Amino acid sequence: MRENKGMVYLVGAGPGDPGLITVKGLECVKAADVVIYDRLAGPGLLAHRRPDARCIYVGKKPDRHTLKQAEINKLLVEEASRGQIVARLKGGDPFVFGRGGEEAEELARQNIPFEIVPGVTSAVAVPAYAGIPVTHRDHASTLAVITGNEDPEKDGSGIQWAKIATGAGTLVFLMGMGNLPAISSKLMEHGRPPETPVALIRWGTRPQQRTLVGTLDNIAGLAAQAGLKNPAIIVVGEVVKLRDRLRWFENKPLFGKRVLVTRSREQASALSRSIQRLGGEPVEFPTISISDPGDYAPMDSAIGQLAKYHWIIFTSVNGVRYFFNRLRHLERDIRDLRGIRIGAIGPQTQKALLELALRVDYVPGEYRAEEIVAGLRDKIEPGQRVLLPRADIARQALPEGLVKLGAVVDEVTAYRTVTGRGDTPLVAEQLARDDIDLITFTSSSTVRNFVELLGGHKVPAITGRALVACIGPVTGQTALELGLPVHVQAREYTIDGLVKAILTYIKEN
């Protein structure tokens, strides 16, 4: 039984790239009953919360607060007092201009248990993603991190400008874009040379990262001309010159691209990881969800008579997972597959079977039903029985083709594909604003449900300038039939093939 008072974890979420949260920080998110997050905590981290966890947004901008700090402090106390485990996600590190110290003080005053989980500060990580090391033996041996929110012209400044200006090799100002002209003037006024290199980095470590380089005497004008605003950091010092040689993040092939992933939440991770690795930002919008079959009786009956089958052909990883889960549920095991030949459609399905120590007798070179049947022509003899455990809405081309070969086919529903529960209003808004660069479809059902969720006939208009990428011709044909353009179609009908096709298209266009 949980005690009356819960627990608050003040978690540094890192600078934006969800991969930069610490292992302990991610564990806190996964364990939390409530996630209280701010504007700079990467949205991808929320996908790791428990399905029943509540999310509360308390984001703040320099000029506008959703909740004032005192209200956030009160919220943390209230939630913990109700016995909740609270993950307070704060951008960067909670104690580096994150006001985490104030929140911790209030929790201590109210005798609320809390822990501090340090995070990767943007003061170091954001310049690194822009190719700027904040220290370097040849350029800077000292580093100062300074708030950019304080008006340099106010009386009683907490910043000792005369010492800061020349007292450290590299100066990093956080959230200082509103004060950039005054910051530049103060530094020059107190001895920093006007030609000192300066970099402004907006939305650092994210695919929309933008970097502007100038010098102290012209950076304010360049920023105004470019319309560069917060959230951004200001890096001042000779280390900025290294950016031309060390920039790496912006050179990735999908840098700056926001990619909609419509696979089920259980399957999205592989594609999302590939997108992130290539510099893009995956936006997970699961238009399908995988569920138990409405009735297990047909599959249970087939499992009870496995000895009569000559072949079992698995068409997906989900089919493998649900079939063998049911096999275990019925207190059977892989010894009951003795003498049965096994087919796997696609390398991931083959991999799932190999992980169960099952040798696969047939993997087609191409994953369309028509090609699969052609490959089995010399392997399946007339009268042999074939078991197909697969989705409830799968195409009929495969069983029909096997019947033409003379096989006796038992098709059983191993799992159902149902409409997913993605954040439709948010995605519709992103598409309408042209904030999505690429929409990926990995099956016909992802296309159909996407159209259904986003309003049918309105979809072509809603998709805006976004490119559409399909995993193969069947999926592509479904997209065309529903009024969607198809810009990219993979020749190899796998996630790797889809990613390769996307990269080829971007390179050529």
456 near 463, Cβ under 8 Å?
Answer: no
Give SS3 for 341: strand
Give SS3 for 31: helix
CA atoms within 13 A on the CB side of 386: 28
User: Which residue, 270, 278, 211, 272, is CA-closest to 242?
Assistant: 211
Cβ neighbours of residue 432 closer than 8 Å, sequence gap 6 or more: 462, 464
Which residues does residue 236 pair with via DSSP β-bridges, in sequence order?
171, 198
C-alpha torsion sign, points 285, 290, 294, 298: positive
Residue given tokens 């201009």 in the structure block: 97
Q: How far is CA 195 from CA 188, 243, 392, 412, in A?
A: 10, 16, 67, 73
Would you say the pTM of this structure is higher than 0.85?
no
Q: Report the pLDDT value the prediction gives residue 2, as an integer from 0 to 100.
A: 44
Tell me the C-alpha distance between 77 and 73, whole Å: 6
Exposed, middle or buried: residue 227 (CB in 10 Å: 0-12, 13-18, 19+)? exposed
Domain spans of the chain, in order of start: 7-120, 124-249, 258-287+420-508, 292-418
Number of residues written out for the chain: 509
Q: How far is CA 370 from CA 147, 239, 396, in A?
A: 64, 59, 11
The DSSP output letter for 136 is: B
| 60 among known catalytic residues | yes
Beta-carbon count within 10 A of 509 CB:
8
Q: Does domain 258-287+420-508 have CATH number 3.40.50.10090?
A: yes
CATH number of 7-120, picked from 3.40.50.11810, 3.40.1010.10, 3.40.640.10, 1.10.260.40: 3.40.1010.10
Tell me the C-alpha distance between 229 and 236, whole Å: 17
Q: What is the pLDDT along the chain (509 residues), one digit of tens a residue?
A: 345 679 999 999 999 888 899 999 999 999 999 999 987 776 678 888 988 999 999 876 555 556 888 999 999 999 999 999 999 999 999 999 888 999 999 999 999 999 999 999 999 999 999 999 999 999 999 999 999 887 777 777 788 999 999 999 999 999 899 999 999 999 999 999 999 999 999 999 988 899 999 999 999 999 999 999 988 999 999 999 999 999 999 999 999 899 999 988 777 788 988 998 999 988 888 998 888 998 999 999 999 999 999 999 998 889 999 999 999 999 999 999 999 999 998 888 999 999 999 999 998 877 677 778 888 888 898 999 999 998 887 778 888 888 999 999 999 999 988 888 878 888 888 888 888 999 999 989 999 999 988 876 566 667 778 999 999 888 999 999 988 999 999 988 888 999 999 999 999 98
User: Which residue, 168, 165, 93, 88, is CA-closest to 126?
Assistant: 93
Beta-carbon count within 10 A of 288 CB:
27
The active-site residue, picked from 60, 229, 241, 379, is 60
Q: Quickly list H helices, 263-377.
A: 268-277, 297-304, 317-329, 347-354, 369-376
> What is the residue type of 329?
H
Q: Which architecture characterizes domain 124-249 according to CATH?
A: 2-Layer Sandwich (3.30)
Tell me the C-alpha distance between 140 and 385, whole Å: 74
145 near 159, Cβ under 8 Å?
Answer: no
The active-site residue, picked from 7, 17, 93, 175, is 175
Describe the strand order of the beta sheet including 34-37 as a list of residue ranges.
54-57, 34-37, 85-90, 7-12, 114-117
Beta-carbon count within 10 A of 1 CB:
3
Beta-carbon count within 10 A of 448 CB:
20
Cis peptide before 133 (omega within 30 of 0): no
293 near 390, Cβ under 8 Å?
Answer: no
Residue given tokens 């470019």 in the structure block: 226
| 177 among known catalytic residues | no
Q: Which two tokens stand for residue 62?
A: 């320099």
Q: Report the pLDDT value the prediction gives residue 331, as an integer from 0 to 100.
A: 94
Same fold, 258-287+420-508 and 292-418: yes
For the chain, the maximum distance between any two Cα atoms, rounded to a whole number of angstroms, is: 93
| 7 among known catalytic residues | no
The active-site residue, picked from 17, 33, 38, 410, is 38
> H or E segment at 7?
strand 7-12
Q: Does domain 292-418 have CATH number 3.40.50.10090?
A: yes
